Amino acid sequence: MSSMSKSIIKAAPEFAIRFTSTALQNMMSKQTVQSFFRGQFRKMTTGSREKPFKPVMDAELACDEILAFFNRMQIMPKLIGIDGIPGAGKSTLGRTLANRLCFQWCTLKWQEMQFEYDFKQQHIYENVRLIRTQNIELFDVLIYLDLPVELAKQRVIDRDRNGMLADIVRFDRMKLVGDVAFALLESQEWTIHHPTIRIKVKDNKFNHTEHIHTMLDQKGIYWDHSMTKEEKLFALCYGKPKKGILAYANFGAYNNVILSAFNSCFK
């Protein structure tokens, strides 16, 4: 064995310790990671990563406006959906509106959006992939929370549920697909004084799938009926069909942390 090989083997443990120590230090200095661990601590001590729900004045005022809009337009919804990127306030608005309407509120999991969900009337459902994955024709009213990406990220960090989402998920990609999905619902769009709330009410049909197909054809993008709605929307936005959680993953989220730790080993 050469002297260089022996030197490398001898230095390997020290290299590994320095690399790991620096990487952990860099990770723990990030707001997003600190938020994640606060959420984990809350889960261990209370059984849930969620902060206890409290009425939020902004949501209460938004509900006042939404209910006034329903009354003015003589709308009596039976099934309401709420969509928007993480941190947009879907859960807060959904709970508050459900209390006012005496509906059941339900936040759906990502896994449940992989297949057609069995929606029930007198419910309000919310999920970031609701419009892009489900049969929207079942809903009377769809509410889209159009919050700027950076503000949504900060809200995710502040709520201490899973702050690392702000690192590992491409919010910009998620929002663009959501914007396009909402825009292709056939219905007049209504807005209230609250700047981030956009509403569409079904008149006869939303004709969502048909409008997606028309846009794909107009842009000359290949599609077939075996593709999911999310894949078609992704193809509209980015030219290639993708679906599921990995379609929005930021795979290089911690490259700088790793590179910084690696460089520190040679100082």
Encode the chain (267 residues) as per-residue pLDDT tens digits.
555 455 545 556 776 777 777 778 888 888 888 888 888 878 788 776 666 666 678 889 999 999 999 999 999 999 999 999 999 999 999 999 999 999 999 999 888 888 899 999 999 999 999 999 999 999 999 999 999 999 999 999 988 878 888 999 999 999 999 999 999 999 999 988 888 999 999 999 999 999 999 999 999 999 999 999 999 999 999 999 999 889 999 998 888 878 877 777 766
Q: Give the predicted TM-score (pTM) of the model.
A: 0.89
What are the two backbone dihedrals, phi and then psi, of residue 123, each rounded to the nearest 5 degrees?
Answer: -130, 155
- Tens digit of pLDDT for each residue in 91-130? 999 999 999 999 999 999 888 888 899 999 999 999 999 9
> Secondary structure of 225-244 in the HEC alphabet?
CCCCHHHHHHHHHHCCCCCC
Describe the strand order of the beta sheet including 189-191 as a list of residue ranges. 104-107, 123-126, 79-83, 141-145, 197-201, 189-191
User: Per-domain residue ranges for the chain?
Assistant: 57-206
**Cα angle value 162/228/242 (rounded, 5°):** 55
- Tens digit of pLDDT for each residue in 157-192? 988 878 888 999 999 999 999 999 999 999 999 988
3-state helix, strand, coil in the chain (%, to 5): 55, 10, 35
Give the whole-angstrom CA distance, residue 231 versus residue 86: 20
| Topology (CATH level 3) of domain 57-206 | Rossmann fold (3.40.50)
